[in-house]
Chains A and B, each alone.
Chain A
Amino acid sequence: MESTEISPLKRNNVKVLGKGTQPIVFAHGYGCDQNMWRFVYPAFEEDYKIILFDHTGAGNSDETQYSYEKYDTLEGYTEDLLEICTELDLQEVILVGHSVSSMIAVLAAVKEPERFSNLVLIGPSPRYINDEGYTGGFSREDIDGLMDALDSNYLGWAAQMAPVIMGNGERPELGEELTNSFCRTNPEIARHFARVTFLSDNRGDLPAVKVPTLVVQCSEDIIAPQEVGAYVHHNIPNSSFVVLEATGHCPNLSAPEETIKVIKEFLDLPAKA
């Protein structure tokens, strides 16, 4: 039996910032929470209304709202995202999704195309597992390997958070509001989210995206290799493709300036016909 309905804003720890009117929603990827945008979103504060949130089960979201049934597909997360948009009455939304959230963004834009003006997909992969004629970068066994890594690290990972609560003198820019939740998820939920993320296949949804889209690809990203980014670009009709100099899977952390630059350039473009 479901318990009481709680507001999506509370459920997903939604934060609204910025001075502008056009909303820009930042959706975090697998493994972390909204804090991973902390080097990126300040650059948009002057001109946009910024919406940050944690996926249910991640960060400071209301974990009690997690259900294995609802979040057994990315649709569950998509529902949450759209509920947040409805609750805040967001229109003309720019939706920036990192990693798995780029596919959640795709699903949201297919479901309610009229709500979104632009999509920015950072390190997207519509399918992580190799298939006939498609290179995703992983095999099924690789994903089981991730499960093992999650399992063997649960305790160590939890212990990691303690120093952050104590405050971090060396890195004052982290500020006090950085909670002790970053990258910390209930191990059962983390496993489930990993499975849902890495076993998803959203290749069929790409052509249905009608919103102008920017595909941002990192150099040497083992999670989403370059051919995967190119595949996404080819299959979303109205999309542009940019390869960052930044390496790894999280340019929003490792190369925030470059990430900000490509997003701004894309948003400043006159709307394509």
Chain B
Amino acid sequence: MDKNSLHNLPVESAEELYENAPCGYISFLSDGTIFRLNTTLLHLLGYGRKEEIIKIKKIQDLFRIGGKIYFETHFFPLVKMQGFVKEINFDLVKKDGSFFPALLNVNQIKAPSSGLVTYRGSLVDITDRKNYEKVLLEGKKKAEEATRAKAEFLSTISHEVRTPLNAIVGIGNLIQKTSLDELQREYARILQLSSANLLELVNNLLDLSKLESQKVKLEKRNFSLKQLLEVLFQSFELRAKEKKIKLIKEYSGNLPDHLLGDPIKINQILTNLLGNALKFTKEGHVKIKIEEIQRSEKKVTLRFTVCDTGIGIPKDKLEIIFREFSQASYDVNLEYGGTGLGLTISQKLLQMHGSELKVESEEGKGSEFSFSLSFELSEETAPSRESRSRLTEILAASGARVLVVDDNPVNLFITSQYLQEWGLNHETVGSGEAAKNAVNDKVFDVILMDLHMPKMNGYETSAAIREMFPEPPPVIIALSASGRGDVNLKMKRAGINAYVPKPFHPPELQEVMVHFLTGNTGDPGNNKDISFTVNEQPMFKGKGKAEDSEPVNLERYHQLAKGDKAILTRLIKNSLKSIKKLREEFSLTVYNEKGEKLRRLIHKHTMTLHYLQAYRLSQLLEEYRENLQEEIEKQVQEDEKANIMEELDKIITRLTKTDPSQLL
């Protein structure tokens, strides 16, 4: 290029640079009124003349409605607070009503002389960038959805598998109690062992998926560390003895006992580590050691160590043992079994506590797992786990007056049988309204509340009872078959103190009642104990017996009646009533395609079906309900419906014909 041409370069004015800048410029007042903009922006917006905008439009008018709200509630307040905001995405509306995405920068400018505050913005069209972004975001969303779907699938399947598996385990136990020849006994043993292993795997899978979807939260409650350790030992002692391994505990008697923390998670971690240690040790010992590392007035830090003299872990495998489904080697799995999930779960549980599981090991010599946890020291004494007979004794001595609220007469009767057995005064009512009246008339210390009732459900009833301010305030315990969910807040609001899943294990209910009756008031304002946890495992629901020729089995009633003919007669009469009602409601109800009504109907009669062991009916109902969801042909539905009616009739006939005195 020759020198001359450099002299003849055109002059670029600031004006020109402003007007034709690659981005739009806009200036506006505090209320948004636009007083200047450049040509680039004018064209971007599709206007011909600046007069169409200046002093007529506000910057807010250039945004779509969502952007307007965003501008008013987020963007402009921030500009006013810090004087500028950069690169926020707004959709700009063009003259013709179409819009495009742009990035907005705004600076606040204060004129030195007048003090007038104005704002200057620059706008960049990002249509292309937005398109790339969209593609990327879609990909990301798809990937995340797929992961979530997988996790959910895993969780659902595990859950579904657990129910029949519980039955298999239960049946395995029952078979062992019958008279068997040697070969059969061996088969039964294998059946029991394998099904127990399978159950453990499924439970682990469930735990893991809950942990991964962050559904697990840490609880904080009083517990006794010593008690926890004792129970833990008891459960491992037998296994250690069988393998002729010494189980050593090493901790000082001065160990702080009453702590605030999550005993269930800690128990799970220790159970896992001890279980592993025992599994991989053939001779020698397994030791649990607890040391106090730090202690202040309110807090204590403990180090837990579990070590063994087992097979050890090769150095290069120390990392991978914490990964899902990984054991040190394939042979390990062949020889020792296991899911390879235990350590992963323990590690995740510890991470939730802000801690970490550490491992040291030498192949052939043994392994040592350790972790530290900090606890707040608790002043209160933890509720102690009383033995079953002791629980009954305490309950009887408490003289508690109990009100049972349930719309299902069989449930009412069964619950009241237990209360009778425990020597408790009680009354039963069949509706929320009746419960209110009962509370009005009499004093109750405990109210056992069904959550699903027509008209007034358990939440509403509980809330209404709390509104009446009965003195002393009763403890309200919800009994429901709907499983554990996020009902805590809802229960808390309704003034419910605790929750026990139905069908309940009698000792669980006893334990919860004892907990509240001894020293804990039912004051809903003080119901930190709402998290009182009971065993999450559903009660053994023998589902596998559906092929039995008998439609029902009265054995459970037989046990419950304990030889009392009057009780047995009433139990049978009540279930007959309940089944007849089920038949009537089933035949009359027109089900919506989701089977919601049917689900509620089945739910309502869960206890009756459970006690009658009406497996075939349960199965038929369940299948029918599932098919409803899958929109099966009408004819098939009709056939199934007929089958259910037939089964119901069979049960009714059977119950009508039963003579209680012959059963006893």
Is B220 touching A157 in the complex (CB atoms < 8 A)?
Answer: no
A138 / chain B contacts, CB cutoff of 8 Å: 65
* CA of A156 to CA of B486, assembled, Å: 34
Q: Which of B73-81, B156-164, B236-244, B448-456 contacts A (4 or more CB under 8 A)?
A: B73-81
B528 / chain A contacts, CB cutoff of 8 Å: 5
Interface magnitude class on chain B? 35 or more
Q: A178 interface residue, CB < 8 Å from B?
A: yes
Is B64 touching A253 in the complex (CB atoms < 8 A)?
Answer: no
Is B32 touching A69 in the complex (CB atoms < 8 A)?
Answer: no
Contact A247 to B32, CB < 8 A, known contacts A32-B77, A160-B86, A223-B72: yes
Mark out the residues of chain B between 85 and 134 whose CB falls within 8 Å of any chain A CB in the assembled complex: 85-91, 101, 103
Is B82 touching A32 in the complex (CB atoms < 8 A)?
Answer: no
Highest count of chain B CB atoms <10 Å: which of A30, A67, A146, A152 = A152
B531 / chain A contacts, CB cutoff of 8 Å: 1-2
Residue from B31, B74, B101, B490 within 8 A of A157 (CB atoms): B74
A153 / chain B contacts, CB cutoff of 8 Å: 70, 88-89
Cβ contacts A222-233/B at 8 Å (1 or 0 each): 110000000000
Residue from A3, A150, A174 within 8 A of B81 (CB atoms): A174
Q: A145 interface residue, CB < 8 Å from B?
A: yes
Is B67 touching A145 in the complex (CB atoms < 8 A)?
Answer: yes
- Residue on B nearest A128 in the bound complex, by CB: B69
Residue from A38, A67, A152, A222 within 8 A of B60 (CB atoms): A222
Is A31 touching B489 in the complex (CB atoms < 8 A)?
Answer: no
Is A1 touching B69 in the complex (CB atoms < 8 A)?
Answer: no
Contact A146 to B70, CB < 8 A, known contacts A35-B81, A152-B89: yes
Residue from B67, B84, B85, B488 within 8 A of A1 (CB atoms): B488
Is A145 touching B76 in the complex (CB atoms < 8 A)?
Answer: no
* CA of A198 to CA of B31, assembled, Å: 23
Q: A257 interface residue, CB < 8 Å from B?
A: no
Q: A171 interface residue, CB < 8 Å from B?
A: yes
Q: A163 interface residue, CB < 8 Å from B?
A: yes
Q: B506 interface residue, CB < 8 Å from A?
A: no
Is A249 touching B72 in the complex (CB atoms < 8 A)?
Answer: yes
Mark out the residues of chain B between 40 and 71 whose CB falls within 8 Å of any chain A CB in the assembled complex: 60, 64-70
A5 / chain B contacts, CB cutoff of 8 Å: 528
Mark out the residues of chain B between 499 and 538 whose CB falls within 8 Å of any chain A CB in the assembled complex: 528, 530-531
Quote the shortest CB–CB distance from B263 to chain A (angstroms).
13
Contact A145 to B81, CB < 8 A, known contacts A1-B488, A29-B73, A32-B73: no
Total count of chain A residues near the partner, CB < 8 A: 52
Mark out the residues of chain A between 123 and 166 whose CB falls within 8 Å of any chain B CB in the assembled complex: 138, 142-150, 152-153, 156-157, 159-160, 163-164
Is B32 touching A183 in the complex (CB atoms < 8 A)?
Answer: no
Is B88 touching A160 in the complex (CB atoms < 8 A)?
Answer: yes
- Residue on B nearest A250 in the bound complex, by CB: B77
Residue from B67, B87, B218 within 8 A of A149 (CB atoms): B67
Q: B249 interface residue, CB < 8 Å from A?
A: no
Is B220 touching A31 in the complex (CB atoms < 8 A)?
Answer: no
* CA of A1 to CA of B488, assembled, Å: 7
Is B489 touching A248 in the complex (CB atoms < 8 A)?
Answer: no
* CA of A163 to CA of B105, assembled, Å: 14
Quote the shortest CB–CB distance from B625 to chain A (angstroms).
28
Is A145 touching B64 in the complex (CB atoms < 8 A)?
Answer: yes
Is B70 touching A182 in the complex (CB atoms < 8 A)?
Answer: no
Q: B83 interface residue, CB < 8 Å from A?
A: yes
* CA of A271 to CA of B88, assembled, Å: 46
* CA of A146 to CA of B486, assembled, Å: 29
Q: A265 interface residue, CB < 8 Å from B?
A: no
Contact A67 to B489, CB < 8 A, known contacts A159-B87, A171-B82, A174-B82: yes
Residue from B31, B78, B81, B85 within 8 A of A248 (CB atoms): B31
B393 / chain A contacts, CB cutoff of 8 Å: none
Contact A168 to B72, CB < 8 A, known contacts A3-B220, A149-B90: no
Quote the shortest CB–CB distance from A8 to chain B (angstroms).
14
* CA of A157 to CA of B86, assembled, Å: 9
Highest count of chain B CB atoms <10 Å: which of A35, A36, A148, A153 = A153
A144 / chain B contacts, CB cutoff of 8 Å: 66
Residue from A4, A67, A149, A220 within 8 A of B69 (CB atoms): A149
Is A253 touching B66 in the complex (CB atoms < 8 A)?
Answer: no
B530 / chain A contacts, CB cutoff of 8 Å: 2
Is A250 touching B72 in the complex (CB atoms < 8 A)?
Answer: yes
Q: B217 interface residue, CB < 8 Å from A?
A: yes
Contact A69 to B486, CB < 8 A, known contacts A29-B73, A142-B66, A248-B72: yes
Q: A12 interface residue, CB < 8 Å from B?
A: no
A249 / chain B contacts, CB cutoff of 8 Å: 72-73
Mark out the residues of chain A between 5 and 58 whose CB falls within 8 Å of any chain B CB in the assembled complex: 5, 29-32, 35-36, 38
Is B80 touching A253 in the complex (CB atoms < 8 A)?
Answer: yes
Contact A182 to B81, CB < 8 A, known contacts A145-B65, A156-B88: yes
Is A69 touching B73 in the complex (CB atoms < 8 A)?
Answer: no
* CA of A222 to CA of B78, assembled, Å: 18
Quote the shortest CB–CB distance from B125 to chain A (angstroms).
15
Highest count of chain B CB atoms <10 Å: which of A29, A182, A222, A223 = A222
Is B82 touching A150 in the complex (CB atoms < 8 A)?
Answer: no
B220 / chain A contacts, CB cutoff of 8 Å: 3-4
Taking Cβ atoms with an 8 Å cutoff, the residues of A that contact B are: 1-5, 29-32, 35-36, 38, 67, 69-70, 99, 138, 142-150, 152-153, 156-157, 159-160, 163-164, 168, 170-171, 174, 178, 182-183, 198, 220-223, 247-250, 253-254
Closest 8 CB pairs of A and B: A145-B66, A31-B73, A247-B31, A149-B66, A146-B66, A142-B65, A149-B70, A249-B72
